Amino acid sequence: MGSVGSERTTTGWAATDPSGILSPYTFALRETGPEDVYIKVTYCGVCHTDIHQVKNDLGMSNYPMVPGHETVGEVIEVGRDVTKFKAGDSVGVGLIIGSCRECSSCTSNIEQYCNKKIWNYNDVYTDGKPTQGGFASTMVIDQKFVVKIPEGLAPEQAAPLLCAGLTVYSPLRKFDLTTSGLKAGILGLGGVGHMGVKIAKAMGHHVTVISSSNKKQEEAMDHLGADDYIVSSEPEQMGRAVDTLDYIMDTIPVVHPLEPYLPLLKVDGRFIIMGVIAQPLQFITPMIMLGRKSITGTFIGSVEESAEMLDFCKEKGVTSSIELVKMDYINKAMERLEKNDVRYRFVVDVAGSKIDL
């Protein structure tokens, strides 16, 4: 891990209470240790999880809190033992910045499931200091948890891929759902959902978007490339889709019933839950027993998968649909995100913002 010697400071935008309102906040950064990478943040995506955290929706928030976990930046300095990066490299940092490195998850390169993982914000690092996220001018991160942004992939486009793109890519890879010709269902068309459509299409899947109304149909099919669109409140449309899907990605981040969607899966179909929801979800067991179906969760992805995913997106020309904003717009952006008023991901131009207003 990094040095815990002398400290430097940086400025970010932090929440100080459950109102979730962010404002400038100066805090300490450790000096660049032997395995550390010192990064000037250029862009950072805004995720629905950031809202949950700054508003203490999960009851585990600590303040002051600088959110942001879809971070892209430029390497300023590297520690003496860093071999993966050099000054000037474009790099990304995701949600996890530390782990025990000894458990079965860590030794299997799925460190996101380590019981001692360290979140990039709202956590405590090995030096006993609070971790702070990417809505800040600079970061110091252990090289193991940094990925290189492929040349030719725009950094502002890469930022949302580090969470939304990875969240989609990881389960497809893990559950062998990468074969061309599979039939996919994408439930919800927000930040993660729109990446679900794009990545599934890039893998050669037939993609059906499932939404509560038809207001996003044109966007889904004409702009994102979905093959079909189902309005979940229309029984006839849902009925036609019974037993047709190999998998469904459930990206909805609020409480909703599962039972209407489980019949759409084929035998052995997989229902993949991706939304962070603090209340219980319910279903009756015959809904899965009578089709040998699976309901599974997934959590972002590993550093190894992050690198794979970025290379895949570059190769296939997959980009995120973003609205670029300055840091002084962040509170409005999070308010709009909570209302699903963004197509489909806010990205903060951190380097182009005046942080210390």
- Per-residue pLDDT of 167-221, as tens digits, reads 999 999 999 999 999 999 999 998 999 999 999 999 999 999 999 999 999 999 9
pTM above 0.95, yes or no: no
Report whether pLDDT(37) > 50. yes
The DSSP element (H or E) to which 315 belongs, if any, is: helix 303-316
pLDDT in the model for residue 6: 52
Which pLDDT score, from 0 to 100, does residue 253 have?
87
332: pLDDT strictly greater than 70: yes
Dist. CA 263–CA 248, nearest whole Å: 11
Res. 7 pLDDT band, cuts 50 70 90: low
332's CB contacts (< 8 A; 6+ apart) are none
Q: What is the pLDDT of residue 357?
A: 72
- Per CATH, the architecture of 165-297 is what? 3-Layer(aba) Sandwich (3.40)
Q: Please provide the average confidence, as pLDDT, over all residues in the chain.
A: 95
Which residue is it, tokens 């629905």?
A: 48
The DSSP letter of residue 131 is P
Question: Is residue 3 scored above 50 in pLDDT?
Answer: no
Alpha helix stretches (DSSP H) within 6-128? 48-54, 104-107
Percent of the chain with pLDDT over 70: 98
Which residues on neighbouring strands pair with residue 259, listed in sequence order? Answer: none
* Position with higher pLDDT, 254 vs 102: 102
- How confident is the model over 63-79, as a mean pLDDT? 98
* CATH tag, 9-163+302-307+320-349: 3.90.180.10
Task: Return the pLDDT at 276.
Answer: 84
Tell me the three state secondary structure of residue 173. helix
Average pLDDT on 320-329 reads 96
Q: What is the pLDDT of residues 278-305, one digit of tens each?
A: 889 989 999 999 999 999 999 999 999 9
Instruction: Answer whether residue 331 shows pLDDT above 80.
Output: yes
CB of 187 closer than 8 Å to CB of 261: yes
Distance of alpha carbon 66 from alpha carbon 135, whole angstroms: 6
Query: What pLDDT does 2 receive?
Result: 39
Ranges of each domain in the chain? 9-163+302-307+320-349, 165-297
- In single-letter form, the type of residue at position 139 comes to M
Asked if residue 1 has pLDDT above 60, the reply is: no
Average pLDDT over residues 136-140: 98
Instruction: Give the integer Cα–Cα distance in Å for 239 and 284.
Output: 19
Residue 231 has pLDDT above 70, yes or no: yes
